[in-house]
Amino acid sequence: MVALTKHAANRILERQIPFEAVEGVRTISAILNEVPLRFAYKGMVIVAAKDGDTSRIISVWKKGEATC
């Protein structure tokens, strides 16, 4: 289970972030720190980092898609 603030839930909906990305960050949250980490999870590439005690998703895209 993942608990999200209203703000976080709205951002996920606004930016069309797949819920699986949240699940992936939750899975690796123990090894996250303030340095962004790029990893693959269920066909997505996710960049995430810790901000204090909070895990933050910086970017998400599907594998094979071009990034800017």
In this prediction the pTM is 0.79
User: How large is the average pLDDT for residues 6-33?
Assistant: 88
Residues 32-50 have pLDDT tens digits of 999 999 999 999 999 999 9
Q: What percentage of the chain carries pLDDT values higher than 70?
A: 91
The pLDDT-based confidence of 11 (bands split at 50, 70, 90) is: confident
The answer to whether 55 and 32 have CB atoms below 8 angstroms apart is yes
With beta carbons less than 8 A apart as the criterion, state whether 20 and 44 touch.
yes
Provide the 3-class DSSP secondary structure of residue 9.
helix
Report the C-alpha gap between 57 and 22 in whole angstroms.
Answer: 8
Which amino acid is residue 8, in one-letter code? A
β-bridge mates for residue 29, sequence order: none
Regarding predicted confidence, which is higher, 33 or 63? 33
Return phi, psi of residue 16, to 5°: 55, 45
